[in-house]
Amino acid sequence: MFTLAHLSDIHLSPVPHAKRRHLLSKRILGYVNWHRGRKYVHKREILDLLTRDLIERNPDHIVVTGDLVNLGLPEEFLKAAEWLRHLGPPDEVTAIPGNHDAYVRLHPDKSTRHWQPYMRANEAGEALFPTPKTGFPFVRRFGDIGIVALSSAIPTMAFVAAGRIGKTQREYLKGALDTLGREGLFRVVLIHHPPLPGQSGWRRGLRDAKKLTDILRKHGAELVLHGHRHEQSIRELDTVSGPAIVVGVPSASEAVEGRAPAARYNEYTIEKAGNGWRVEMVGRAAASSDQVWECERRVLRER
């Protein structure tokens, strides 16, 4: 049995003070948007509450599917790296970037490279499927579990939060899924944007969602985890190896009055069931500023 926790869209607050030169870009709109509304929604105390609960439950592994920062300020990436270290060591936590983590073009040394220990293959995964020079997708293996991490984070114009994985990642993904499938592993695919066509519009969606869906159908996967939409969703995709369960998780820091639950993470228990797999999902949500409750328990697959 393997327990996997999934959280996303933490939008770490507070946003550091931005220097004038940092706002001579798309950031100026995001900065205004943050101070007019988003800072009242994404609350650090809520994220810390869920993080404590998650750590106390001690899952076997934790995955974070992007949007750790808000405006792509260099200091934000350093603070997010500190948060990742608090969450757990790199061999126990996997992270991928989201669109806010690629808010503007930055040299990797000033941005996601600070998270590099959490965004690379482990030894077992690299031995199974070598990582391309681009860094994505990378594979991590934990016993019978194979995690394939994609990046859909690309810089975009103002008012656009779309993503794309691109041809190189798509080609490598085919090989990774085939290799893990031949090994009989339970394949978990991580991506920030919803991977299925029609889940988001042109401005916010995954530009090559149809091509990605075709790959999943033809090469197989068991569980696909994403964020981006800040809402809980569960869909099923028929693949050559059986159904792939596609789950989106809400933001882990969002506290919206009148919407319960808002901030949440999911925990999956994965175990062999005959010739297949049994997967049970438990949702853990912020019931208040100091209480976390089990808001949902559901068996996602039982074969």
Comparing CA positions, the residue from 209, 138, 212 lying closest to residue 179 is 138
Interatomic CA distance for residues 45 and 126, integer angstroms: 37
232-282 pLDDT tens trace? 999 999 999 999 999 999 999 998 765 656 899 999 999 998 889 999 999
With residues binned 3-state (H G I as helix, E B as strand, rest as coil), the percentages for the chain, rounded to 5, are 30, 30, 40
8-34 pLDDT tens trace? 999 998 876 656 555 556 666 665 676
Interatomic CA distance for residues 241 and 239, integer angstroms: 5
Backbone phi and psi for residue 73, each to the nearest 5 degrees, phi listed first: -75, 140
157-197 pLDDT tens trace? 777 889 999 999 999 999 999 999 999 999 999 999 999 99
61-89 pLDDT tens trace? 999 999 999 988 889 999 999 999 999 99
The dihedral over CA atoms of 38, 62, 85, 232, expressed in degrees to the nearest 10, equals 0
User: 264-273 and 276-288: which strand pairing?
Assistant: antiparallel
List all residues 6 or more positions away from 197 whose beta carbon is below 8 Å from its beta carbon: 209, 210, 213
pLDDT at 302: 86
Sheet holding 93-96, edge to edge: 93-96, 61-65, 2-7, 264-273, 276-288, 291-302
CB 194 within 8 Å of CB 229: yes
CB 208 within 8 Å of CB 196: no
Sequence-ordered alpha helix ranges (H) in 74-233: 74-87, 123-128, 166-182, 209-219
Interatomic CA distance for residues 169 and 174, integer angstroms: 9
Interatomic CA distance for residues 247 and 227, integer angstroms: 8
Q: Which residues pair with 234 in a beta bridge?
A: 247
Judged on CB neighbours under 10 Å (0-12, 13-18, 19+), 127 is exposed
pLDDT at 36: 73
pTM over 0.75: yes
Interatomic CA distance for residues 99 and 208, integer angstroms: 15
Q: How confident is the model at residue 228 (pLDDT cuts 50, 70, 90)?
A: very high
Q: How confident is the model at residue 287 (pLDDT cuts 50, 70, 90)?
A: confident
112-154 pLDDT tens trace? 999 999 999 999 999 999 999 999 999 999 999 999 999 999 9
- Name all domains of the chain by residue range, CATH numbers in brackets: 2-302 (3.60.21.10)
Average pLDDT of the segment spanning 204-219 = 96
User: Which residue reads 């681009």 in tokens?
Assistant: 134
pLDDT at 303: 75
pLDDT at 118: 98
Comparing CA positions, the residue from 293, 237, 240, 236 lying closest to residue 263 is 293
List all residues 6 or more positions away from 272 whose beta carbon is below 8 Å from its beta carbon: 144, 278
Q: How confident is the model at residue 205 (pLDDT cuts 50, 70, 90)?
A: very high
pLDDT at 149: 98
pLDDT at 202: 76
